[in-house]
Amino acid sequence: MNPLSVVARTVCNLFAWFLAVFGIYVIVHGHLTPGGGFQGGAVVATFMAFLLVAHGGRKMQSWVRKELFTLMECIGLTVFISAGLLGMSNTFFFNFLAKAGGLFGSTVPLGPNPGALNTSGTIALMNLSVGLEVVGGLSMILLYMFSGVHPEEPFGREETGHDR
Give the closest residue to 20 by CA, choosing from 49, 43, 53: 43
Candidates 24, 27, 43, 60; binder of other proteins (CB under 8 A) is 43
Stretch touching other proteins by CB under 8 A, among 62-70, 78-86, 95-103, 148-156: 148-156
Neighbouring C-beta atoms of residue 158, cutoff 10 Å:
7
Are 12 and 52 spatial neighbours (Cβ–Cβ below 8 Å)? Answer: no
Q: Which of 39, 95, 119, 120 binds other proteins (CB under 8 A)?
A: 39
Q: Cβ of 41: how many Cβ atoms within 10 Å? A: 28
Secondary structure (3-state) at 43? helix
Among 35, 37, 76, 136, indicate the residue that binds other proteins (CB under 8 A): 35
Given the rule CB under 8 A, which residues bind other proteins? 1, 23, 26, 34-36, 38-39, 42-43, 45-46, 49-50, 52-53, 138, 141-142, 145-146, 148-150, 153-155
